[in-house]
Amino acid sequence: AGIGDSLARSNDFQFTTKDADHDVHSDNCGSRYFGAWWFADCHNTHPNGQYRDFSSAIDGPRAQGIIWKSPFGPYYSLKEIEMLTISSDCWTTVQHRVSGSVDFYRGWTQYQSEFGEGPDGNYWIGLNTLHDLTASGPRKLRILMKAWNDSEHWAEYSSFSVGPESDNYRLSVSGFSGSAGIGDSLARSNDFQFTTKDADHDVHSDNCGSRYFGAWWFADCHNTHPNGQYRDFSSAIGGPRAQGVIWKSPFALNPRVARVVSAERTWRLSRDGLAEYEAASSFWARSDISCMATADSDPAVQLVAFNASSGLCAHFRCRLGLRHCRKGRNVNKGDHQVWTAGSDCWTTVQHRVSGSVDFYRNWTQYQSEFGEGPDGNYWIAHFIWSSKLVILMTAWNDSEHWAEYSSFSVGPESDNYRLSVSGFSGSAGIGDSLARSNDFQFTTKDADNDVQATYNCAERFVSAWWFSNCFDTNPNGEYKDSASAIGGAPNLGILWKYPFDREYSLKKFEMLIF
């Protein structure tokens, strides 16, 4: 509260240092104020200014120090300032080991497919899926490890891909980085084919899969073996050489890490400022992994930011309705799972924010994507979906509401994209306005598939939807501005009947699937 926009003055200016003057002042602002910044004719904020201790921070020289002018003024140097940009990444778990409850000593056919307890337990995504995920181009790979002293470590590769079955799912991996002390134990597997106990594609005289009770991209064998035999604490340290869930550097081939999680980035959101979020808590943490792990116990936390230099872990909640919140989070409250950098990824299906795009279109147009993209007015096109559905709504008083359906699918063109939806829950006061559309086909102005005998619902209500004999919600209806949205003709506009009724057209409406 009370914070003004002290950065606006720097907008569209070049960066200046004491030896490179790109500001528009007659002096060099970097030299004058002992720092470097995007100076104009100088600044209203200067995070890179000279740090002042308590004795000189207040009522010191004008504009000297760590300045944020509004509301602190030009004579007040801040105690702390931090700039963060949030890059929220949704990751897909490809392999996970947490215990010995699932047997990973399996054959070729089994490793081609998914098996295990799901991504939160002991899990393998399947070689065919790995190839499909990376066929369009390399992805980023991150590996998270926990040792038996509960220390947490990570390795990351900027390029990761898996070849086709015809090349025995050959691994291509490069671009290593890692947490302190972690070495590149995956490099030895690069450019090798996958081996199982019944399909030997390594270059060792033995079958490495049989020898080490697992399956992997073995060379002449391995420096890491996440699919090795899981060992409990009594046998994990100092046991047989190279046996177990191994990451050689720095753990060597005898101690074994307790957990290994591999995660592959499947899509990426834009960078957004922290104005998209509400601060929940902040504290010191040992690592980014610790920072994320502590969020698991707090269902309010939906984003985690970690500053590696200071060790500050910050937990944030989404401010529902802002664009960053719409995708990289579990919508709101209640029994939704916690979101950090490694969980739910949502896809926008439909979005209305203004009247700039015409949604009164024909059948062929609705079969294809149209609009301004997911952050604007948008329709994704008809696909055969089977997902969870979330609907976000904003009323004209800027109150925000949501509805969720645990099951949502759309049939094929041969059945006119019939809708199947069930499992409703919603925010306070929101009723199930989509139920009336369940098990009905899609109708447009030129393709009447509703069951209203006397007219085409799409034509009558200037829209396209899964109409029955017509509707209790009409997201693709005509967009109304504030002057005509409330109290107008019934059933015209972007409607959600319960509780808004039929004379209220919503300000914003978005459908997302997960």
**Domain residue ranges in the chain:** 1-81, 89-266, 269-326, 347-513
- Backbone angle region of 323, left / alpha / beta, with phi > 0 → left and psi within -120 to 50 → alpha: alpha
Query: Of the segments 92-96, 246-250, 328-332, 439-443, which one has the largest average pLDDT value?
Result: 439-443
Which pLDDT belongs to residue 302?
64
Compute CA 18 distance to the chain's CA centroid, rounded to the nearest angstrom. 40
Here the tokens at position 268 are 């990426």
Cα distances (Å, whole numbers) of residue 93 to 305, 350, 419: 20, 27, 30
* Backbone φ and ψ of 258, nearest 5°: -80, -35
Q: Which H or E run includes 448?
A: none
**Which residues, 6+ apart, have CB-to-CB distance to 235 below 8 Å?**
none
Least confident of 226-235, 286-295, 371-380, 503-512: 286-295
**Cis-peptide, bond into residue 61, ω within 30° of zero:** no
Cα distances (Å, whole numbers) of residue 457 to 381, 416, 445, 491, 514: 20, 15, 8, 10, 29
DSSP E strands, 239-396 = 246-247, 259-268, 277-284, 303-307, 312-318, 347-352, 370-371, 378-379, 386-394
Say which amino acid occupies 388.
Answer: K
- Which of 251 and 261 is assigned the larger pLDDT? 251
The mean pLDDT value for 332-358 works out to 52
| Residues recorded for the chain | 514
The mean pLDDT value for 298-311 works out to 68
CA atoms within 13 A on the CB side of 480: 26
Q: For tokens 């926009």, what's the residue?
A: 5
Here the tokens at position 162 are 């898996």
- The answer to whether the beta carbons of residues 196 and 218 sit under 8 Å apart is no
Residue 444, pLDDT > 90, answer: yes
> Distance between CA atoms of 511 and 305, rounded to whole angstroms?
27
Here the tokens at position 222 are 């391995």
Cα distances (Å, whole numbers) of residue 480 to 338, 366, 463, 466: 36, 21, 13, 21
Q: For tokens 């998270």, what's the residue?
A: 144
Here the tokens at position 243 are 């046996």
Which pLDDT belongs to residue 77?
78
- The answer to whether the beta carbons of residues 463 and 350 sit under 8 Å apart is no
CATH superfamily of domain region 1-81: Gamma-fibrinogen Carboxyl Terminal Fragment, domain 2 (4.10.530.10)
Which has the closest alpha carbon to 391: 509, 223, 486, 228? 509
Q: For tokens 């699919």, what's the residue?
A: 227
Confidence of residue 235 (pLDDT cuts 50, 70, 90): confident
Least confident of 314-318, 372-376, 436-440: 314-318
Which has the closest alpha carbon to 466: 491, 492, 441? 441
> Distance between CA atoms of 253 and 247, rounded to whole angstroms?
7
> Distance between CA atoms of 330 and 285, rounded to whole angstroms?
24
Integer-rounded Cα radius of gyration of the chain? 28
- Sheet of strand 312-318: strand arrangement: 277-284, 312-318, 303-307
CA atoms within 13 A on the CB side of 379: 23
Asked whether this chain's domains 89-266 and 347-513 adopt the same fold, the reply is: yes
The mean pLDDT value for 410-416 works out to 92
Residue 351, pLDDT > 90, answer: no
Looking at CATH, the fold of the domain delimited by 347-513 is given as: Gamma Fibrinogen; Chain A, domain 1 (3.90.215)
- Provide CATH code, domain 89-266: 3.90.215.10
Which pLDDT belongs to residue 330?
33
Query: Which residues pair with residue 386 across a beta bridge?
Result: 409
- The answer to whether the beta carbons of residues 331 and 319 sit under 8 Å apart is no
Confidence of residue 491 (pLDDT cuts 50, 70, 90): very high
Q: For tokens 């369009």, what's the residue?
A: 136
